[in-house]
Amino acid sequence: MTAYRGPVFEMAVKQFEVIANYLGIPDDARPRLLLPKRSVTVSCPIHRDDGTTAVFEGYRVQHHLTLGPTKGGTRFAPTVDLGEVAALAIWMSWKCALVGLPYGGAKGGINVDPSSLSKRELEALSRRYMQEMIPFVGPHTDVMAPDLGTNEQIMAWFMDTYSMYQGQTVTEIVTGKPVSAGGTLGRREATGRGVAHLVRRAADELKIRLNGATAVVQGFGNVGSIAALELHNMGVKVIAVSDHTGALYQSRGLDIPQLVRHAASQGSLDGYSNELALDPAEMLTMPCDVLVPAAVERVIDAEIAGKLRCRILAEGANGPTTPEADRILEGRQEEIFLIPDILCNSGGVVVSYFEWVQDLQRLFWEEEEVMRREYQLLDRAFERVLARSGRENIFNRTAAMAIGVERVRSAKETRGLFP
Protein backbone atom coordinates (compact mmCIF):
# COMPACT_ATOMS: atom_id res chain seq x y z
CA MET A 1 0.00 0.00 0.00
CA THR A 2 1.18 3.48 -0.75
CA ALA A 3 -0.29 6.99 -0.63
CA TYR A 4 1.05 7.69 -4.13
CA ARG A 5 -1.38 7.06 -6.95
CA GLY A 6 -2.12 7.90 -10.55
CA PRO A 7 -0.74 7.19 -14.00
CA VAL A 8 2.48 9.20 -13.66
CA PHE A 9 3.43 7.49 -10.41
CA GLU A 10 2.60 4.09 -11.93
CA MET A 11 4.86 4.98 -14.83
CA ALA A 12 7.78 5.76 -12.48
CA VAL A 13 7.18 2.41 -10.74
CA LYS A 14 7.13 0.48 -14.03
CA GLN A 15 10.30 2.18 -15.24
CA PHE A 16 12.02 1.34 -11.97
CA GLU A 17 10.88 -2.30 -12.15
CA VAL A 18 12.48 -2.63 -15.59
CA ILE A 19 15.79 -1.34 -14.22
CA ALA A 20 15.57 -3.31 -10.96
CA ASN A 21 14.97 -6.50 -12.97
CA TYR A 22 17.84 -5.66 -15.28
CA LEU A 23 20.19 -5.00 -12.36
CA GLY A 24 18.90 -8.03 -10.44
CA ILE A 25 17.99 -5.97 -7.37
CA PRO A 26 16.36 -8.30 -4.81
CA ASP A 27 12.66 -7.73 -4.11
CA ASP A 28 13.20 -6.69 -0.51
CA ALA A 29 15.67 -3.96 -1.54
CA ARG A 30 13.30 -2.33 -4.03
CA PRO A 31 10.82 -0.39 -1.84
CA ARG A 32 13.69 1.30 -0.02
CA LEU A 33 15.07 2.60 -3.30
CA LEU A 34 11.76 3.54 -4.86
CA LEU A 35 9.45 4.92 -2.18
CA PRO A 36 9.91 8.57 -1.19
CA LYS A 37 11.46 9.26 2.20
CA ARG A 38 8.82 11.84 2.99
CA SER A 39 6.05 13.93 1.53
CA VAL A 40 4.07 16.88 2.75
CA THR A 41 0.63 18.09 1.69
CA VAL A 42 -0.34 21.62 2.69
CA SER A 43 -3.37 23.87 2.31
CA CYS A 44 -2.51 27.32 1.03
CA PRO A 45 -5.25 29.90 1.65
CA ILE A 46 -5.16 33.26 -0.13
CA HIS A 47 -7.42 36.27 -0.40
CA ARG A 48 -8.74 36.56 -3.96
CA ASP A 49 -8.95 39.98 -5.56
CA ASP A 50 -12.76 39.84 -5.29
CA GLY A 51 -12.57 39.60 -1.50
CA THR A 52 -13.31 35.85 -1.23
CA THR A 53 -10.90 33.29 0.23
CA ALA A 54 -9.58 30.36 -1.80
CA VAL A 55 -7.56 27.36 -0.67
CA PHE A 56 -5.09 25.57 -2.95
CA GLU A 57 -3.47 22.23 -2.20
CA GLY A 58 0.33 22.12 -2.31
CA TYR A 59 2.81 19.22 -2.11
CA ARG A 60 6.49 18.54 -1.64
CA VAL A 61 8.01 15.07 -1.97
CA GLN A 62 11.60 14.33 -0.90
CA HIS A 63 12.70 11.07 -2.42
CA HIS A 64 15.94 10.25 -0.63
CA LEU A 65 18.34 12.02 1.69
CA THR A 66 21.28 9.68 1.27
CA LEU A 67 23.60 11.82 -0.85
CA GLY A 68 22.89 15.29 0.51
CA PRO A 69 19.95 17.69 0.39
CA THR A 70 17.06 16.91 -1.92
CA LYS A 71 16.71 19.05 -5.04
CA GLY A 72 13.96 19.72 -7.49
CA GLY A 73 11.47 22.06 -9.05
CA THR A 74 8.05 23.35 -8.11
CA ARG A 75 5.18 22.91 -10.52
CA PHE A 76 2.06 25.07 -10.67
CA ALA A 77 -0.48 23.27 -12.84
CA PRO A 78 -4.06 22.01 -12.62
CA THR A 79 -2.84 18.40 -13.12
CA VAL A 80 -0.56 18.41 -10.07
CA ASP A 81 -1.27 15.80 -7.41
CA LEU A 82 0.78 13.86 -4.88
CA GLY A 83 1.40 10.93 -7.24
CA GLU A 84 2.68 13.13 -10.07
CA VAL A 85 4.95 15.07 -7.73
CA ALA A 86 6.31 11.80 -6.24
CA ALA A 87 7.11 10.42 -9.70
CA LEU A 88 8.90 13.65 -10.65
CA ALA A 89 10.86 13.52 -7.35
CA ILE A 90 11.96 9.94 -8.09
CA TRP A 91 13.12 10.95 -11.58
CA MET A 92 15.08 13.84 -10.06
CA SER A 93 16.99 11.29 -7.94
CA TRP A 94 18.07 9.20 -10.91
CA LYS A 95 18.90 12.40 -12.83
CA CYS A 96 21.08 13.92 -10.08
CA ALA A 97 22.85 10.59 -9.53
CA LEU A 98 23.46 10.10 -13.27
CA VAL A 99 25.18 13.47 -13.65
CA GLY A 100 26.98 13.11 -10.31
CA LEU A 101 25.34 15.84 -8.20
CA PRO A 102 25.39 15.49 -4.39
CA TYR A 103 21.59 15.51 -4.12
CA GLY A 104 18.57 13.31 -3.71
CA GLY A 105 15.53 14.12 -5.80
CA ALA A 106 12.56 16.22 -4.75
CA LYS A 107 9.62 17.90 -6.41
CA GLY A 108 6.81 20.12 -5.29
CA GLY A 109 3.78 21.75 -6.69
CA ILE A 110 0.42 23.37 -6.28
CA ASN A 111 -2.76 22.23 -7.93
CA VAL A 112 -3.62 25.50 -9.65
CA ASP A 113 -3.87 27.03 -13.09
CA PRO A 114 -1.48 29.97 -12.61
CA SER A 115 -3.01 31.84 -15.56
CA SER A 116 -6.29 32.04 -13.60
CA LEU A 117 -4.60 34.18 -10.92
CA SER A 118 -3.77 37.88 -10.96
CA LYS A 119 -0.16 38.81 -10.27
CA ARG A 120 -1.06 39.75 -6.69
CA GLU A 121 -2.84 36.42 -6.14
CA LEU A 122 0.09 34.52 -7.63
CA GLU A 123 2.48 36.28 -5.29
CA ALA A 124 0.25 35.57 -2.28
CA LEU A 125 0.00 31.89 -3.21
CA SER A 126 3.73 31.52 -3.87
CA ARG A 127 4.63 33.15 -0.57
CA ARG A 128 2.06 31.12 1.36
CA TYR A 129 3.30 27.86 -0.18
CA MET A 130 6.89 28.61 0.85
CA GLN A 131 5.75 29.70 4.30
CA GLU A 132 3.94 26.36 4.76
CA MET A 133 7.10 24.53 3.63
CA ILE A 134 9.52 26.29 6.00
CA PRO A 135 9.61 23.44 8.55
CA PHE A 136 10.49 20.93 5.83
CA VAL A 137 13.03 22.69 3.59
CA GLY A 138 16.41 24.36 4.02
CA PRO A 139 19.64 24.97 2.09
CA HIS A 140 21.03 21.70 3.51
CA THR A 141 17.80 19.67 3.52
CA ASP A 142 15.77 20.53 0.41
CA VAL A 143 16.44 23.15 -2.26
CA MET A 144 13.59 24.22 -4.56
CA ALA A 145 13.71 25.39 -8.19
CA PRO A 146 11.33 26.25 -11.05
CA ASP A 147 9.37 23.76 -13.13
CA LEU A 148 6.24 23.94 -15.28
CA GLY A 149 4.15 27.03 -14.46
CA THR A 150 6.76 28.70 -12.24
CA ASN A 151 9.51 31.18 -13.09
CA GLU A 152 12.30 33.38 -11.74
CA GLN A 153 9.90 35.82 -10.13
CA ILE A 154 8.24 33.03 -8.15
CA MET A 155 11.66 31.78 -7.03
CA ALA A 156 12.46 35.32 -5.84
CA TRP A 157 9.22 35.36 -3.79
CA PHE A 158 10.11 31.94 -2.32
CA MET A 159 13.59 33.12 -1.40
CA ASP A 160 12.30 36.37 0.07
CA THR A 161 9.61 34.64 2.16
CA TYR A 162 12.06 32.09 3.55
CA SER A 163 14.60 34.85 4.26
CA MET A 164 12.07 37.06 6.09
CA TYR A 165 11.36 34.18 8.47
CA GLN A 166 15.07 33.56 9.06
CA GLY A 167 15.82 37.22 9.66
CA GLN A 168 18.57 37.17 7.04
CA THR A 169 18.91 36.70 3.30
CA VAL A 170 19.26 33.01 2.45
CA THR A 171 19.70 32.94 -1.31
CA GLU A 172 20.78 29.27 -1.30
CA ILE A 173 17.28 28.04 -0.34
CA VAL A 174 16.10 28.20 -3.96
CA THR A 175 17.72 28.06 -7.40
CA GLY A 176 16.51 29.51 -10.68
CA LYS A 177 16.27 32.96 -9.07
CA PRO A 178 16.76 36.18 -11.03
CA VAL A 179 20.44 37.19 -11.24
CA SER A 180 19.46 40.36 -9.34
CA ALA A 181 18.41 38.22 -6.35
CA GLY A 182 21.39 35.86 -6.09
CA GLY A 183 20.73 33.75 -9.18
CA THR A 184 23.46 32.61 -11.54
CA LEU A 185 24.13 33.67 -15.09
CA GLY A 186 23.12 30.90 -17.47
CA ARG A 187 20.47 29.21 -15.30
CA ARG A 188 17.50 30.44 -17.33
CA GLU A 189 19.01 29.05 -20.53
CA ALA A 190 20.62 25.98 -18.93
CA THR A 191 18.04 23.28 -19.69
CA GLY A 192 17.43 24.31 -23.30
CA ARG A 193 21.14 24.78 -23.96
CA GLY A 194 21.82 21.36 -22.49
CA VAL A 195 19.20 19.76 -24.73
CA ALA A 196 20.72 21.34 -27.84
CA HIS A 197 24.25 20.43 -26.75
CA LEU A 198 23.30 16.78 -26.35
CA VAL A 199 21.48 16.81 -29.69
CA ARG A 200 24.78 17.92 -31.22
CA ARG A 201 26.58 15.07 -29.46
CA ALA A 202 23.98 12.58 -30.73
CA ALA A 203 24.15 14.01 -34.25
CA ASP A 204 27.95 13.58 -34.21
CA GLU A 205 27.51 9.95 -33.20
CA LEU A 206 25.04 9.37 -36.02
CA LYS A 207 27.06 11.48 -38.50
CA ILE A 208 24.07 13.76 -39.11
CA ARG A 209 24.96 17.27 -40.27
CA LEU A 210 22.91 19.64 -38.14
CA ASN A 211 23.27 22.53 -40.56
CA GLY A 212 20.14 22.11 -42.68
CA ALA A 213 18.70 19.27 -40.58
CA THR A 214 15.08 19.59 -39.39
CA ALA A 215 13.61 19.70 -35.88
CA VAL A 216 10.18 19.63 -34.28
CA VAL A 217 9.82 21.07 -30.76
CA GLN A 218 6.75 20.38 -28.62
CA GLY A 219 6.42 22.95 -25.82
CA PHE A 220 7.59 26.55 -25.98
CA GLY A 221 8.21 27.34 -22.33
CA ASN A 222 11.63 27.82 -20.79
CA VAL A 223 12.96 24.49 -22.10
CA GLY A 224 11.36 24.26 -25.56
CA SER A 225 11.91 27.88 -26.58
CA ILE A 226 15.60 27.95 -25.63
CA ALA A 227 16.23 24.50 -27.15
CA ALA A 228 14.55 25.70 -30.39
CA LEU A 229 16.63 28.88 -30.39
CA GLU A 230 19.89 27.03 -29.80
CA LEU A 231 19.09 24.51 -32.55
CA HIS A 232 18.17 27.38 -34.87
CA ASN A 233 21.53 29.00 -34.08
CA MET A 234 23.25 25.74 -35.02
CA GLY A 235 21.66 25.96 -38.48
CA VAL A 236 18.83 23.51 -37.80
CA LYS A 237 15.52 24.29 -39.54
CA VAL A 238 12.93 24.18 -36.75
CA ILE A 239 9.93 23.31 -38.90
CA ALA A 240 7.28 22.97 -36.17
CA VAL A 241 6.74 24.23 -32.63
CA SER A 242 3.77 24.10 -30.30
CA ASP A 243 2.52 25.13 -26.89
CA HIS A 244 -0.78 24.70 -25.01
CA THR A 245 -2.43 27.23 -27.36
CA GLY A 246 -1.59 25.45 -30.65
CA ALA A 247 1.08 24.47 -33.16
CA LEU A 248 2.87 26.21 -36.05
CA TYR A 249 4.55 24.72 -39.13
CA GLN A 250 6.78 26.07 -41.88
CA SER A 251 8.70 23.70 -44.16
CA ARG A 252 11.61 26.11 -44.73
CA GLY A 253 12.01 26.58 -40.96
CA LEU A 254 10.20 28.96 -38.59
CA ASP A 255 11.68 32.31 -37.56
CA ILE A 256 12.54 31.12 -34.05
CA PRO A 257 14.06 34.40 -32.73
CA GLN A 258 10.84 36.19 -33.69
CA LEU A 259 8.70 33.44 -32.11
CA VAL A 260 10.71 33.68 -28.90
CA ARG A 261 10.10 37.45 -28.83
CA HIS A 262 6.39 36.91 -29.50
CA ALA A 263 6.07 34.30 -26.72
CA ALA A 264 7.98 36.54 -24.30
CA SER A 265 5.73 39.54 -24.92
CA GLN A 266 2.38 37.71 -25.36
CA GLY A 267 2.89 34.85 -22.92
CA SER A 268 2.30 32.14 -25.55
CA LEU A 269 2.46 31.36 -29.29
CA ASP A 270 -1.19 32.39 -29.65
CA GLY A 271 -1.80 35.14 -32.22
CA TYR A 272 1.52 34.70 -34.08
CA SER A 273 0.08 33.45 -37.35
CA ASN A 274 -3.08 31.81 -38.66
CA GLU A 275 -1.51 30.71 -41.97
CA LEU A 276 1.16 28.63 -40.26
CA ALA A 277 -1.25 26.85 -37.90
CA LEU A 278 -0.91 23.08 -37.68
CA ASP A 279 -2.97 20.41 -35.93
CA PRO A 280 -0.95 19.73 -32.74
CA ALA A 281 -1.89 16.04 -33.02
CA GLU A 282 0.32 15.80 -36.14
CA MET A 283 3.41 17.30 -34.51
CA LEU A 284 5.09 14.31 -32.97
CA THR A 285 4.82 11.98 -35.93
CA MET A 286 6.09 14.42 -38.57
CA PRO A 287 9.22 13.38 -40.44
CA CYS A 288 12.20 15.25 -38.97
CA ASP A 289 15.78 14.67 -37.88
CA VAL A 290 15.31 15.83 -34.28
CA LEU A 291 12.16 15.58 -32.19
CA VAL A 292 12.15 17.43 -28.86
CA PRO A 293 9.16 16.77 -26.60
CA ALA A 294 9.60 19.60 -24.08
CA ALA A 295 6.15 19.89 -22.53
CA VAL A 296 4.53 17.33 -20.22
CA GLU A 297 4.58 13.62 -19.33
CA ARG A 298 3.21 10.67 -21.31
CA VAL A 299 2.81 12.32 -24.72
CA ILE A 300 4.55 9.46 -26.55
CA ASP A 301 2.48 6.33 -26.01
CA ALA A 302 2.87 2.95 -27.70
CA GLU A 303 0.81 3.99 -30.73
CA ILE A 304 2.80 7.19 -31.33
CA ALA A 305 6.10 5.40 -30.66
CA GLY A 306 5.37 3.10 -33.59
CA LYS A 307 4.75 6.11 -35.86
CA LEU A 308 7.66 8.37 -34.91
CA ARG A 309 9.70 9.48 -37.93
CA CYS A 310 12.60 11.25 -36.24
CA ARG A 311 16.22 10.11 -36.00
CA ILE A 312 17.03 11.69 -32.65
CA LEU A 313 14.46 11.79 -29.85
CA ALA A 314 15.65 14.38 -27.33
CA GLU A 315 13.47 14.30 -24.22
CA GLY A 316 13.44 17.88 -22.91
CA ALA A 317 10.39 17.13 -20.73
CA ASN A 318 10.35 14.80 -17.75
CA GLY A 319 8.71 11.46 -18.53
CA PRO A 320 7.36 12.19 -22.03
CA THR A 321 7.55 8.52 -23.07
CA THR A 322 5.47 5.77 -21.46
CA PRO A 323 7.02 2.39 -20.54
CA GLU A 324 4.86 0.75 -23.24
CA ALA A 325 6.27 3.17 -25.81
CA ASP A 326 9.76 2.38 -24.51
CA ARG A 327 9.39 -1.26 -25.47
CA ILE A 328 8.62 -0.16 -29.04
CA LEU A 329 11.45 2.37 -29.18
CA GLU A 330 13.81 -0.26 -27.82
CA GLY A 331 13.02 -2.30 -30.92
CA ARG A 332 13.61 0.75 -33.13
CA GLN A 333 17.03 1.69 -31.71
CA GLU A 334 18.69 1.38 -35.10
CA GLU A 335 16.33 4.02 -36.52
CA ILE A 336 15.83 6.35 -33.52
CA PHE A 337 18.55 7.47 -31.12
CA LEU A 338 17.04 8.26 -27.71
CA ILE A 339 18.52 10.91 -25.42
CA PRO A 340 16.59 9.94 -22.27
CA ASP A 341 14.98 12.64 -20.13
CA ILE A 342 17.18 12.23 -17.06
CA LEU A 343 20.18 12.96 -19.27
CA CYS A 344 18.65 15.28 -21.87
CA ASN A 345 17.11 17.86 -19.52
CA SER A 346 19.69 17.57 -16.75
CA GLY A 347 21.42 20.83 -17.73
CA GLY A 348 18.81 22.64 -15.62
CA VAL A 349 19.60 20.95 -12.35
CA VAL A 350 23.32 20.96 -13.16
CA VAL A 351 23.30 24.76 -13.33
CA SER A 352 21.00 24.87 -10.28
CA TYR A 353 23.76 23.02 -8.48
CA PHE A 354 26.24 25.68 -9.65
CA GLU A 355 23.86 28.39 -8.43
CA TRP A 356 23.64 26.74 -4.98
CA VAL A 357 27.43 26.40 -4.78
CA GLN A 358 27.93 30.05 -5.77
CA ASP A 359 25.32 31.21 -3.24
CA LEU A 360 26.93 29.17 -0.45
CA GLN A 361 30.35 30.59 -1.31
CA ARG A 362 29.13 34.13 -2.10
CA LEU A 363 31.40 33.91 -5.12
CA PHE A 364 29.92 34.30 -8.59
CA TRP A 365 31.15 32.96 -11.89
CA GLU A 366 31.15 34.38 -15.41
CA GLU A 367 28.55 32.95 -17.78
CA GLU A 368 31.29 31.26 -19.87
CA GLU A 369 32.45 29.42 -16.75
CA VAL A 370 28.90 28.25 -16.00
CA MET A 371 28.42 26.99 -19.57
CA ARG A 372 31.83 25.34 -19.78
CA ARG A 373 31.20 23.41 -16.58
CA GLU A 374 27.62 22.54 -17.61
CA TYR A 375 28.78 21.03 -20.90
CA GLN A 376 31.60 19.22 -19.13
CA LEU A 377 29.18 17.40 -16.78
CA LEU A 378 26.74 16.71 -19.63
CA ASP A 379 29.51 15.33 -21.84
CA ARG A 380 30.70 12.99 -19.11
CA ALA A 381 27.19 11.70 -18.46
CA PHE A 382 26.50 11.32 -22.20
CA GLU A 383 29.71 9.34 -22.67
CA ARG A 384 28.96 7.11 -19.68
CA VAL A 385 25.47 6.36 -20.98
CA LEU A 386 26.75 5.56 -24.47
CA ALA A 387 29.58 3.42 -23.17
CA ARG A 388 27.20 1.41 -21.04
CA SER A 389 24.51 0.96 -23.68
CA GLY A 390 27.19 -0.10 -26.17
CA ARG A 391 28.97 -2.45 -23.79
CA GLU A 392 25.84 -4.18 -22.51
CA ASN A 393 23.86 -3.81 -25.70
CA ILE A 394 20.96 -2.07 -23.99
CA PHE A 395 18.54 0.78 -24.64
CA ASN A 396 19.85 4.27 -23.79
CA ARG A 397 17.15 4.75 -21.14
CA THR A 398 18.07 1.48 -19.46
CA ALA A 399 21.73 2.52 -19.42
CA ALA A 400 21.02 6.02 -18.02
CA MET A 401 18.65 4.78 -15.34
CA ALA A 402 20.90 1.88 -14.41
CA ILE A 403 23.76 4.32 -13.71
CA GLY A 404 21.49 6.55 -11.61
CA VAL A 405 19.83 3.74 -9.65
CA GLU A 406 23.15 1.99 -8.99
CA ARG A 407 24.68 5.17 -7.55
CA VAL A 408 21.80 5.70 -5.14
CA ARG A 409 21.81 2.03 -4.22
CA SER A 410 25.52 1.92 -3.53
CA ALA A 411 25.33 5.10 -1.38
CA LYS A 412 22.50 3.52 0.62
CA GLU A 413 24.43 0.29 1.05
CA THR A 414 27.55 2.11 2.19
CA ARG A 415 25.73 4.31 4.69
CA GLY A 416 23.36 1.70 6.11
CA LEU A 417 19.65 1.66 6.71
CA PHE A 418 19.31 4.96 8.55
CA PRO A 419 19.29 7.65 5.81
C-alpha 374/C-alpha 348 separation (Å) is 9
Q: How far is the CB of 62 from ligand GLU (least distance, A)?
A: 13
Specify which residues 241 forms β-bridges with: 217, 248
14, 37, 107, 237: the catalytic one is 107
C-alpha 356/C-alpha 361 separation (Å) is 9
Please indicate if the annotation marks 177 as binding a ligand: no
Looking at beta carbons, which residue is closest to ligand GLU? 73
CB distance 48 to 121 below 8 Å: yes
Instruction: Count the site residues for ligand GLU by CB under 6 A.
Output: 12
Among 175, 222, 285, 398, binds ligand GLU (CB under 6 A): 175
C-alpha 316/C-alpha 67 separation (Å) is 25
Closer to ligand GLU by Cβ: residue 11 or 328: 11
Amino acid type, 43: S
User: Does the footprint of ligand GLU cover residue 345 (CB under 6 A)?
Assistant: yes
Closer to ligand GLU by Cβ: residue 195 or 228: 195
Q: How far is the CB of 342 from ligand GLU (least distance, A)?
A: 9
User: Does the footprint of ligand GLU cover residue 159 (CB under 6 A)?
Assistant: no
Q: What b-and-e string marks burial along 171-209, b requiring 16 or more CB atoms within 10 Å of the CB?
A: bbbbbbbeeebbbbbbbbbbbbbbbbbbbbbbbeeeebe
Q: Report 128-157 residues binding ligand GLU (CB under 6 A).
A: 145, 147
Strands (E), 95-230: 104-111, 142-146, 214-218
Tell me if residue 237 is catalytic: no
Closest Cα partner for 143 from 111, 102, 91? 102
Please indicate if the annotation marks 151 as binding a ligand: no
Closer to ligand GLU by Cβ: residue 46 or 96: 96
Please indicate if the annotation marks 95 as binding a ligand: yes
Q: Per CB under 6 A, which region of 45-53, 71-79, 285-293, 366-374 contacts ligand GLU?
A: 71-79
Please indicate if the annotation marks 237 as binding a ligand: no
Please indicate if the annotation marks 71 as binding a ligand: yes
CB distance 377 to 194 below 8 Å: no
C-alpha 404/C-alpha 94 separation (Å) is 4
Q: Per CB under 6 A, which region of 165-173, 232-240, 345-353, 396-404 contacts ligand GLU?
A: 345-353
Q: Per CB under 6 A, which region of 61-69, 201-209, 346-354, 406-414 contacts ligand GLU?
A: 346-354
Closer to ligand GLU by Cβ: residue 308 or 313: 313
Amino acid type, 165: Y
User: Does the footprint of ligand GLU cover residue 70 (CB under 6 A)?
Assistant: no
User: Does the footprint of ligand GLU cover residue 171 (CB under 6 A)?
Assistant: no
CB distance 367 to 56 below 8 Å: no
User: Does the footprint of ligand GLU cover residue 349 (CB under 6 A)?
Assistant: yes
Among 348, 375, 404, 408, binds ligand GLU (CB under 6 A): 348
Closest Cα partner for 111 from 99, 129, 132? 129
Closer to ligand GLU by Cβ: residue 105 or 323: 105
Q: Say which residues have a Cβ less than 8 Å from residue 360's Cβ, sequence separation at least 6.
A: 139, 172
Strands ordered across the beta sheet of 142-146: 38-47, 53-62, 104-111, 70-77, 142-146
Q: How far is the CB of 374 from ligand GLU (least distance, A)?
A: 12
Active site residues: 107
Summarize the annotated binding site for substrate as residue ranges.
Answer: 71, 95, 352
Residue ranges that bind ligand GLU, judged by CB under 6 A: 71-73, 145, 147, 175-176, 318, 345, 348-349, 352
